[in-house]
Structure 1
């Protein structure tokens, strides 16, 4: 940039111009006076050219032009004043010479001043261009037609920390050494190829900067051509795009990662689909995929028609329920399902019309609502009419699954349990028959044993009683002998009682397999054994076991018998309870005394007059009952160190509870 002039320099410049202007005026006046009044016949007016030179120094172009006009005018005035009436060719020639000299001098001075101003303007323009080139945030450069760099802007030094001369070294190709080592060879090849093609270009490379790191640059260039089309030079710019390039590379890497993940996920989904299809086809469980969208819509309409009670509406209008389940469409079936339905092939099964299940209870309708509303998975047993006319009993589970089209689909798994249930019925019948035979044999043996054991004390009681009677019939009665006979009666009666007590203890405390047990597991297994009684009584069993319970020490079989007896009693106690309310709740929890099992029913409860006698031998509230079941249950629990109690519930039903002490250690069975 030009250096600003100070006040002193400006003052000196103005003073010099003032002196030059004064000298010009003085010289002009002197020439005019000499030319007019001296009478000297010569081209004195030529000296006006000096006035123009001084005017050029004083005022520039305008001053020179004005001075030329004034000086020419003065020369003419002086000529006219001195040669009026005596104008000849010589005088006129001298005037013309003076005027031509003034005009030529003015023209030369004006031309020189214009050239000076042009050069100053060019210098200012060049300086401004250089300032702009050094100010812009890009590296500006110029190159020869063969690609050798001959100019770099100051931004080169600011960015690389190297002098411009270093970038122009090596015959104009040293700048290539600043590219990243991994890209240097390809950069040289690409640079040479682009220069050879002679077309505008741009490419991207990493350049080493002042701190030793590398930043991405965008190098763009265009050729400058002569009128003949030949390239005169190249002009280009290098722009720092490191942030943008890194962002693009990050986005590109992210896209590649996402694409890889999508490809991996797609492959995983394909593998999952193959696994699902293989499991679906190869499974021995009959499986169906159903479209239940129409069922869901029909159930919603039924709920509206029933003012919120869709179940009640469908129970009152069975034809509407048939319409609901008739909207079900079968989408797919595996080979086991084709075999279960007795169909010719998959297509024949998928074309099957009609209801899947023939049951139409309130529980069935509630299950459909639970399925379409995603409240729960349906698990139940049902009778299934198959295509060859048979009716098979199946255990099925239905779950709603996601559908890609937004529809409502369900997956159904079914197991044919007809043979199992038949075998179970035969087994239960055999078990009942065996139990009756065992009871008969046991009662027979027990009766014989008791008769044998009690024969002697009972005979002694009879003899002593008769003897006491004879002693009392004497006159006077022999009271002492009678008392001794009656004492023997009491002793023999006590002995008979002991025989009965020992027999009961033998029944309860006979051969046992006492071991530490998980009481929660024992309860669950016992409830599973009475599944038939629960279904026969249309009763649900809810087992709740607290976590982290300690083991108890007992005989597993006897403990199961106690739980079985109490659960069966609870089922029988609810024979008059509405079906939907028949629930046996079994809670297993810990406490200070050990582990407690509470079996709660929702029946009519126990008469308060009988509750204290409920565990007495031979006391029963059942028609035809023997009255020994609860007494044996209590004796069994007490033999393990526990207690068995009963209480009526506040609302309905009764609760039997027993507590067994926790086992100190050992393996749990």
Structure 2
């Protein structure tokens, strides 16, 4: 049975019992104190409802008692019946008061238990080791961070007073001397020592130990903590390590019984000294009045708070004015350049940060959308125009309180500015290098077609020098020269497009026809090198998407590289260009019968300016890979088991245009 169902069942039972009592009490024959049974109704209501429900139930029972008396005795009233009615009403009222007192006592007990748990939870949630010691300097309390840092059970350590065992032997003497002096003179301990961690290593940690007069014992107790400053000490950097100073916000509790209230206050005072250990910054703000305004806005059906506040700036201003800064610590005042906390609190809340209204709007959204925690970067507006970049966190507490903490990022931002300056200088150097690489790329791409044109021109001149050249042969040579010149023009135009606007002529390509054109283009070079180029391609291979000029340049580069690899080979020199349709792409494989690629070169093959040729510039394969990647593929290379190398890549299919 669920709790909700149980409450409903009890309330229904109470209602039925009240109706039954009223019915019996309304019958003249039963001239007795039947209405006293309403006490059972109140007990049932108390077990299921709140204090307000009990009060309303008592009021209803009194009304029913009086109404029943009126029904039975109003025509012939008597003192005895009136007294019975009055007694029943008083009994109902007293019982209701007792039940309300019991409910309040239970609520007070529950609040006290929650407060104790919250104090202990807070101490254990702080990411530092915290302790409390007696006037003799013996530690009597350690939080759970001690076990996390050292790996030692805190209760065992406290029982045997073995906490100094984790200190490095070389630091023990100075630690004992410093702590002894601080305890004797009632001064603060501030010392860096090496502490053994859970993994057995030692890290530098800062020890803070401050005396404080205990309101419970009247003696001076000491509150201290450990913070990790290993990186600061080892690196000797001049960066101030900031730590968070956390302070538990005081719960606004209902009136409790005296003994429980006293015990709660004693517990809170006992641990209040823990919040003065570190130098972390925090501020506590009261949003309760602003939350009431947000409740009104939500009741109107508003779901987008930001849009609503933008459209109603007067409502936004009213909500901001309702926010009050209730508490800040000295560390925050110092960071913002104020001489005292009171001077900082006197400033308007919205002026704490350069984007103060935006920060407060985000905190209003926390309540509006039921979010408990937010964080982000902002810039605090300090005294005399001081700007402090910080990383801020805000946590929503009970009773409309918000606890905010801030980490100063000034040093990190200076480092970031230096890094960006260095990055800008590196980018400039990269642009200079890119210009050189691009020039080499253009030279590499134009080298082959210009050489081919030169050879065809020389062949044509020799035919003309014979006196009676064969017109058909000369025509084929001139056509080849024209076709090569068109290819040069296409390369130049594509290069210009890439430089000016980064454009690529992406379109549908008949890859089978492009491969055939490439073979015709390289026919003379292949014959001179005694190399056979074989194209293996299905008849109905689909169209692919890409840049035809770049793809042909890839084919030319791969075929020329294979030709160069087999130039000194006495055996068969064959290059195979295989094209096969896959499910969503076309696979291209260029293989040769050469010696293959040395293992030590295969990883560097696509790096810019890496070449194994005496006259090469090392840009061909890098250009090929970039071109294939731009068309959606990936150029890879492997050595064949039978000898020779295989370059392969996939190209995506061209989508059909809608009809």
Structure number with the bigger relative contact order (C-alpha 8 A, sep ≥ 6) is 2
TM-score (norm 1): 0.33
Structure 2 length-normalised TM? 0.33
In terms of Rg, which structure is larger? 1
